[in-house]
Structure 1
Amino acid sequence: MQKLSQTQFDFIIIGAGSAGATLAARLTENNQFSVCLIEAGGKDTSPFIHIPFGLAFLSRMTNLGWEYDTEPQSQLNDRSLFWPRGKVLGGSSSLNAMCYIRGVPEDYDRWNDMGAKGWDWQTVLPYFKKSEKQQHGESEMHGADGYLSVSDLRHTNPLSSTFVDAAEQIGLSKVTDFNGPDREGLGFYQVTQENGQRCSTAKGYLTPALTRSNLTLLTKALVEKIQIIDGVATGVKLQLDGQSIELTANKEVLLSAGAINSPQILMLSGVGPKEHLAENGIKVKVDLPGVGQNLQDHLDIIVQHHCKNRDSYSISLALIPRYIKNTFNYLFNRQGIFTSNVAEAGGFDKTQYAADIPDIQYHFLPAILLDHGRTTAFGYGFGVHVCGLYPKSRGEIRLRSNKPNTPAVIDPHYLEHLDDQKVMIDGVRRARKILAAASFDKYESWEVGPGPDAQTDEEILAFIRKNSETIYHPIGTCKMGDISDVMTVVDSQLKVKDIKGLRVVDASVMPSLVGGNTNAPTIMIAERCADLIKQEHK
């Protein structure tokens, strides 16, 4: 049983993930603020979270995630896709591949142009730097004093080096810093790790904050709804240890439950499209048509090769001695294979449809991946993951019922825009070109996906429809923008329209997808919002 010594706090934060843990750490720096952080999942005690290579097994850990699936997707052969989302301290930052990517300045200038004033590149860059504890120290683009450790990989597979070496053979650059001024090309990712271990927001932000007496943490606590009285968010109702409890927020409720759960909680609280709320028997507090709309995600397809070379990470009797040796190397030195995030290398490239900036991203895996790692893959191989960075298709999150423990309806509408199909097809062709580079000749590999029979656009598209999956970057369902826009959910201060004392602070507020992994941008959003809150409540 978790004992609650108080039920009134200045701030209540819903969700201890990438944004929520960041907010909790920053707000409790002011010892005048009392903060309650509520997490639906448990503590991040699994060793598979902290050992980077454990990533390969996390998708099988049903106790660490929400275990969501999408609605059948009409453009993907009516398949329902598995959508892993973290349900544990650190949220998805405890489950992700640890790639530290911010996007490009144009992404944030676009937000500003779309009505999210004050979120342009020049304004957000200081918050990326503030969050960062960069291995190479402070520079014009990087920070060194933050909570989030960012470092070079301690181990990289020879196949990953081969992938990076292929760049110059096919007319791409080698990139040493994907968060520098020019990121088009191939290179190794920097990762959110410290001393060979994952640095989630639970590890980086929350661990030091938990020593502060003004922070109360509740785990395995499911928020039923936000209490809203006369247009003011006054607290939350939650389930804890089988009991229904109400907590009061003297200053603000901060909703950081992610792109799926944040709109769900808003709707359960009476904030959302009035017709949809009425259909579910929910009393409308504020009619906000944009709640749950504008869902965007990066769709991913793998160009997969098999080979006989044993450099790849795989399950094989022949590799047991290597793994035993590396177990001791990790335990005593924090070195070797187990420090790898598996997705060691990658890059950014332009299809024929790109404008000024790259429109696809690669993640190279020196391994065979099946069903997000939930199915055991035997044998040796490697693959290039390709995702279209700026999809034009838009999906939605809806309620399935008015019960908080019933999963929401997730409908991404993948590939419904024709341009998204074209980008993915050309992305597959470009990935094939990389794997056909001379540097890969020594592996004598053969393509198994799409396979040599898929050559036309129609054949490649058929392969994409049959095999593509999410690469775990949902955003946009509580869109930030100009309050005169009927689809805007939060203003530029992340305050929910027409409600006092309530903000949404997570990836759901992004008006559009950034060109890359979404974890670092989500942390940046929370860093900046913490400053906005501190300024307002001096």
Structure 2
Amino acid sequence: MTSIGSFDYIIVGAGSAGCVLANRLSASGRHRVLLLEAGGRDSNPWIHIPLGYGKLFNNAEVNWKFQSEPQAFLGDRIVNLPRGKVLGGSSSINGLVYIRGQQQDFDHWRELGNRGWSYEDVLPYFRKAEDQERGSDSYHGAGGPLPVSDPSEPNDICDAFIAAAKAAGHPINTDFNGATQEGAGYFQSTSRRGLRVSSAVAYLEPAKRRPNLAVLTKAHATRLLFDDNHNVCGVEWLRDGQHECATAGGEVILAAGAFGTPQLLQLSGLGPGDLLRERGIVVRKQLRGVGANLQDHYQVRLVAGVTKPITFNDDMRNIFRMSRVGLRFLLRRRGPLTISAGYAGGFFRTDSGLATPDIQVHLLNFSSSKLGDKLDPFSAFTLSSCQLRPESRGTVIIRSADPLEAPLINPNYLATETDRRVTVAGVKLLRSIVRTFPLCALVEMEREPGVAVSSDEDLLNYCRERGGSIHHASCTARMGSGPDAVVDEQLRVHGVGRLRIADGSVMPTIVSGNTHAAIVMIGEKAADLILRSAA
């Protein structure tokens, strides 16, 4: 094994939070920081084109291409689980939608005993990160590293959807990250002037020339290193087929994501003792919550045919329209190529007695048989619904002691009656809006699930057969106290010295919406906690 030296901090994973940490921990110039990323540089041009995420779903150069185990409540289907394997991590291949979650999500974290994680506590970190196009106010920040922008232009289908939602009795909402989340409206995205701004672009690019920051790509972390006092003292990785390592005089921070972080912990002897012994791994610390409590948002789509050729499907079927789309992007940074994976949408309650919305809707002005496939050869748009607070819990466990073997991932989708009921109710709500004027005036027919699918039983079968992940995996190294918690409120791993976790795995419960913004916030707060403890 070759040692590349000693650093104050070693960060594993250059994703949504890892890039934040690399920037903040190296900013003073006093600390030597090493950032490890298993993937390569973010040089693929499709990364930087917002709609390019569709080209990255099946690209193994930038995507781990994880898959679930056969899902018992989905007829043993295997579900694709893409995760970013590149600088920027999943923020380089995600759908760019900027949603923080509900205020109540973070207050619930505090109610679970996590001091410092209420909405009032975390709002300053959201604002610190943000460069809000509309300017700063009590909810938003301006001048931060991460741009938050409105769509480059309106869209007829989106306008009709928002108007139909209002006519169906739902409020209009121009700011899902403000005073309230409920309602229909346009989504904002993490883009600037029509280009994606990942965490790598926002945080790492400005910092990478600092002499005290080293960034290693193609460095696949294989295990943590421990000193004689059982504290973490470094990391080992594989790069170009060679084993390398570095030591940390301060701390090691894991930011490898909801799948990668528990995998590395288990490979290093930190996790459920029985599992580790079965895999031939020496147990260093029994932490039965490592890899447990997996939560994700499960989405189900409705595809509606359109009476006019006004969709992106139509653009891509006509050489002249296709050329115009490309030129508008190149010359003006406008048009369909600048749109996130949720042009418009909203947050709705499937039961009027609920205190807050329990489903999120995304609208796309195109359709395909599944995400990442070719667009359909007809005019259509897609609406999807996902349950925001699933009860189902899954697991992430290592297959073997081989660090290059993908873990066993079982999200356990639709395992509870509540999850099944709310998922079906979400599709019904989509239908209710689609069948309301003015959106109904644009709709030719419902292509999926189709009007023949009408009973709750038939709808549930459709949800099981056609639903999938919306790629918000989280909670596999949850913050809290008790036997199933992995980190404390300072993000320190229980019973293990000089090791913290700062990524979506530490969420006690999944946030009500897209997860990228909350993970950036976790990175910002983690950097603050680390620097304060070092002062």
The reply to whether TM is greater than 0.5 is yes
Deviation at 1:30, TM superposition (A): 1.6
Q: Distance in 2 between matches of 1:382 and 1:478?
A: 37
* Counterpart in the other structure of 1:142: 140
Are 2:505 and 1:527 equivalent residues in the alignment?
A: no
Q: Distance in 2 between matches of 1:355 and 1:147?
A: 36
* Counterpart in the other structure of 2:165: 167
Are 2:497 and 1:500 equivalent residues in the alignment?
A: yes
* Counterpart in the other structure of 1:13: 11
* Counterpart in the other structure of 1:351: 350
SS in 1 for 2:252: strand
Are 2:504 and 1:510 equivalent residues in the alignment?
A: no
SS in 2 for 1:525: helix
Q: How do 1:249-398 residues align onto structure 2 when only pairs under 5 Å count?
A: 249-314=248-313, 318-352=317-351, 355-398=354-397
Amino acid at match of 1:22: V
* Counterpart in the other structure of 1:204: 202
* Counterpart in the other structure of 1:434: 433
For structure 1, the residue ranges without an aligned partner over 5 or more in a row are none
Amino acid at match of 2:337: F
Deviation string 1:11-53 (CA, Å, 9 cap, x unpaired) is 0000000010010011111200000000000111111110112
Amino acid at match of 1:393: S
Are 2:235 and 1:244 equivalent residues in the alignment?
A: no
2:117 to 116, 119, 126: 119
Q: Cα–Cα, structure 1 residues 371 and 354, in superposed 2: closer, same or farther, change >3 Å?
A: farther
Q: Cα–Cα, structure 1 residues 315 and 226, in superposed 2: closer, same or farther, change >3 Å?
A: farther
Q: How do 1:393-404 residues align onto structure 2 when only pairs under 5 Å count?
A: 393-404=392-403
Q: Distance in 2 between matches of 1:465 and 1:326?
A: 36
Amino acid at match of 1:460: L
1:223 to 198, 202, 221: 221
Deviation string 1:307-355 (CA, Å, 9 cap, x unpaired) is 3421111166653212212322221222222212252001000012862
For structure 2, the residue ranges without an aligned partner over 5 or more in a row are none
Deviation string 1:59-78 (CA, Å, 9 cap, x unpaired) is 13221100110000011011
2:88 to 87, 90, 103: 90
* Counterpart in the other structure of 2:131: 133
Q: Distance in 2 between matches of 1:91 and 1:424?
A: 29
Percent of aligned positions that are identical = 40
Deviation at 1:86, TM superposition (A): 0.4
Contact 1:370 1:376 (C-alpha < 8 Å) held by counterparts: yes
* Counterpart in the other structure of 1:480: 479
Are 2:527 and 1:537 equivalent residues in the alignment?
A: no
Contact 1:13 1:255 (C-alpha < 8 Å) held by counterparts: yes
* Counterpart in the other structure of 1:491: 488
Amino acid at match of 1:274: G
Q: Cα–Cα, structure 1 residues 472 and 49, in superposed 2: closer, same or farther, change >3 Å?
A: same
Are 2:108 and 1:71 equivalent residues in the alignment?
A: no
* Counterpart in the other structure of 2:454: 455
Deviation at 1:130, TM superposition (A): 0.4
Deviation at 1:383, TM superposition (A): 1.8
Q: Distance in 2 between matches of 1:336 and 1:431?
A: 26
Amino acid at match of 1:178: F
TM-score scaled to structure 2, two decimals? 0.97
Q: Distance in 2 between matches of 1:180 and 1:342?
A: 21
Deviation at 1:136, TM superposition (A): 1.2
SS in 1 for 2:243: strand
Contact 2:234 2:245 (C-alpha < 8 Å) held by counterparts: yes
Deviation at 1:366, TM superposition (A): 1.2
Contact 1:231 1:498 (C-alpha < 8 Å) held by counterparts: no
Are 2:33 and 1:35 equivalent residues in the alignment?
A: yes
The number of equivalent residue pairs is 533
After alignment, is 384-393 or 339-348 more displaced?
339-348
Q: Cα–Cα, structure 1 residues 315 and 403, in superposed 2: closer, same or farther, change >3 Å?
A: farther
SS in 1 for 2:259: helix
Q: Cα–Cα, structure 1 residues 310 and 11, in superposed 2: closer, same or farther, change >3 Å?
A: same
Q: Distance in 1 between matches of 2:79 and 2:336?
A: 30
Q: Distance in 1 between matches of 2:440 and 2:176?
A: 27
SS in 1 for 2:313: coil
Deviation at 1:56, TM superposition (A): 2.5
Q: Distance in 1 between matches of 2:218 and 2:316?
A: 40
Deviation at 1:54, TM superposition (A): 1.3
1:52 to 29, 50, 53: 50
Deviation at 1:410, TM superposition (A): 0.2
